[in-house]
């Protein structure tokens, strides 16, 4: 498949399944790469520095803000997260597509830019299922889960700002719906 370089932005409340879905999409499109964000949060078990995130200190993150190194950044669930400006520029300059997995605040900053992103919001089937998924995943403490569920209400209320909304109920159907969006947008 021939692809044209596009910037994709995916947001979702924590636990909706965006990491699971994004892995499947990246496997299917070899002209699409993933932007590894910088964060000040601690790595979860199984997360690798440089693959899942660049895990850095608050001081290092604030230095990046001051130096203008970040295309967008936000404080999410009490930690900093941000996208390196240079990686986005270099990828799009080469005519390749790039996928950003970022929160609603960062997505708002990209929507307000001249990057003309394709924006996608992943919704869980219900708030109860979202809560169950976070608990079953077993990566976060009760306090962290409570904080993320509290923020989910505000995040889900932002879904209409996105061009596409995909409900992640049946996983295979959600993968197909998402891949169809990428196929059409990169055609
Ligand atoms: N359609 C689905 N049906 C059932 N379980 C799912 C589905 N999609 C994802 N899950 C499970 O839900 C949990 C949360 O998924 P995932 O980690 O991908 O969410 P996330 O949106 O990336 O969350 P976070 O922002 O906290 O990293 C995982 O245990 C995953 O296996
Ligand atoms: N504004 C940004 N948000 C980001 C970025 N990278 C990830 N995120 C979002 O943070 C939350 C929490 O992520 P988690 O891995 O701790 O569960 C989630 O909404 C991500 O989409 C970023 O570079 N900028």
What is the DSSP track for 126-145?
-HHHHHHHHHHH--S-HHHH
> CA-to-CA distance for 52 and 152, rounded, in angstroms?
22
CA 49 to chain centre: 17
Entry pTM: 0.97
Q: Which residues are annotated as a binding site for ATP?
A: 12-19
Between the CA of 53 and the centroid of ligand 1 the distance, in Å, is 17
> CA-to-CA distance for 24 and 165, rounded, in angstroms?
17
Does the ipTM exceed 0.95? yes
Whether the CB of 180 sits within 6 Å of ligand 1: no
Which H/E stretch holds residue 10? strand 7-11
Between the CA of 44 and the centroid of ligand 1 the distance, in Å, is 14
Structure-token pair, residue 45: 């078990």
Bridge partners (DSSP) listed for residue 63: none
Q: Is 78 left (phi over 0), alpha (psi -120 to 50) or beta?
A: left
Instruction: Tell me what the mean pLDDT of segment 94-112 comes to.
Output: 97
Ligand 2 pocket at CB < 6 A: 11, 14, 37, 41, 72-74, 76-77, 81-83, 101-103, 105-106
Nearest atom in ligand 1 to the alpha carbon of residue 20 is 18
> CA-to-CA distance for 38 and 88, rounded, in angstroms?
13
Between the CA of 122 and the centroid of ligand 1 the distance, in Å, is 11
pLDDT single digits (tens) 12-37? 999 999 999 999 999 999 889 999 99
Select from 164, 172, 124 the least CA-distant residue to 148. 124
List of domains in the chain: 7-186 (3.40.50.300)
pLDDT single digits (tens) 74-101? 999 999 999 999 999 999 999 999 999 9
């Amino acid at each position: 498949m021939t692809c044209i370089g596009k910037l994709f932005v995916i947001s979702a409340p924590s636990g909706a399944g965006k990491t699971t879905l994004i892995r499947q999409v990246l496997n299917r499109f070899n002209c699409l790469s993933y932007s590894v964000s910088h964060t000040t949060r601690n790595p979860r078990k199984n997360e690798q520095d440089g693959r899942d995130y660049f895990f850095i200190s608050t001081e290092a993150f604030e230095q990046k803000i001051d130096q203008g190194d970040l295309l967008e950044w936000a404080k999410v669930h009490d930690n900093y997260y941000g996208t390196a400006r240079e990686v986005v520029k270099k990828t799009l300059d080469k005519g390749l597509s790039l996928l950003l997995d970022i929160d609603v605040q960062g997505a708002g900053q990209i929507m307000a830019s001249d990057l003309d992103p394709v924006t996608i919001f992943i919704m869980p089937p219900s708030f109860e299922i979202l809560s169950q998924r976070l608990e079953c995943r077993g990566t976060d403490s009760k306090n962290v889960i409570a904080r993320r569920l509290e923020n989910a209400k505000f995040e889900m209320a932002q879904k209409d700002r996105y061009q596409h909304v995909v409900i992640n109920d049946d996983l295979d159907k959600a993968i197909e719906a998402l891949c169809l969006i990428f196929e059409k947008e990169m055609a």
